[in-house]
Amino acid sequence: MLFIGEKVGRSGDAVDIAVDPLEGTNLCATGAPNAIAVLAAAEKGGLLNAPDIYMDKIVVGPSCKGQVDLRAPVEENLKAVAKALDRRVNDLVVIVLDRPRHEKLISDIRKAGARIRLIGDGDLSAGISAAVVGTGVHAVMGTGGAPEGVLTAAAMRCLNGEIQGRLVLTKATDADRLKKMGITDLNRVYGTEDLAPGKNIIFAAAGVTEGTLLKGVRFFGDGTRTHCLVMTTIPHQVRFIDTIHATDDPDVKVRF
């Protein structure tokens, strides 16, 4: 991991980077789906220097962009998503991290009538799924890491989705730490372009375990096979890269 504000490299143009070398460590350890390795980059100032604390988030896809408000009741946001997608609230699938802190959120979603998909870890990969048509995910709600919120925002900039986030203070020292970082409005709701304001954004993710969008690393006798997602805002591209890393052996056998 890089610590917040760490500088690396010696020369060249300055860029901001955000890294999660393994999003879903528990998922990887147990062989569960959707563990990924992630990096986002932008020109200097293009990614928010987010503190390593919690963030309350809502993530939706392009069709629902501009229709939700993190400050609004859960039922109101779900009705807005359903209207934008021309669906019933009962047809919506909302991903929520399976945590005790989400007990009320889960209750509110069920009361509104939407379906819930609880996940053990990996709200970043869940956010990406919400912004891709055909995954069967329509929104992500709940509290997760703020740095992951920045990475999600970088992905949303490439996918034309939306994330809204608000920092959550859980310790008495959090407020002082935020003020030292120049964050004075502790109730501010950050939008996608607040979290990732850069014009030239690159987002890259590699599947570690099998997932909704990316296959995990696969091993065979003469090498490995990886599946990656690379997205950019300039040019606006979304690429899936399937790579076979063969061993340096004259008798290598490549498997498909």
| Span 97-124, pLDDT tens digits | 999 999 999 999 999 999 999 999 989 9
**In whole angstroms, what is the distance from residue 111 CA to residue 115 CA?**
10
Assign 1 a pLDDT band (cuts: 50, 70, 90).
Answer: low
Q: Which two tokens stand for residue 160?
A: 């034309």
Whether the predicted pLDDT of 39 surpasses 90: yes
Which tens digit of pLDDT belongs to each residue from 10-33?
Answer: 888 889 999 999 999 999 999 999
Residues 194-201, mean pLDDT to the nearest whole number: 97
Per-residue confidence band for 2, with pLDDT thresholds at 50, 70 and 90: confident
What single-letter amino acid sits at 26? N
pTM recorded for the entire structure: 0.93
User: Closest Cα to residue 107, out of 136, 80, 135, 141?
Assistant: 141
Task: Show me where the domains of the chain are located.
Answer: 15-205
Mean pLDDT of the residues in the chain:
93
Q: Write down the pLDDT at residue 69.
A: 98
Task: Confirm if 29 and 51 have CB atoms less than 8 A apart.
Answer: no
Pairing of strands 202-207, 223-232: antiparallel
- What number does CATH give the domain 15-205? 3.40.190.90
149 within 8 A of 195, measured Cβ to Cβ: yes
Q: Which pLDDT score is estimated for 163?
A: 98
Enter the tokens of residue 62.
Answer: 């392009």
Do you know the residue count of the chain? Answer: 256
Q: Is residue 204 scored above 90 in pLDDT?
A: yes
Q: Is residue 251 predicted with pLDDT exceeding 90?
A: no
Per-residue pLDDT at 12: 82
Residue 247 has phi, psi (to 5 degrees) of -70, 155
Q: What pLDDT is recorded for position 10?
A: 81
Which comes out higher in pLDDT, residue 172 or 198? Answer: 198
Round to whole Å and give the CA distance between 170 and 239.
Answer: 38
- CA–CA distance, 89 with 108 (Å, rounded to integer): 13
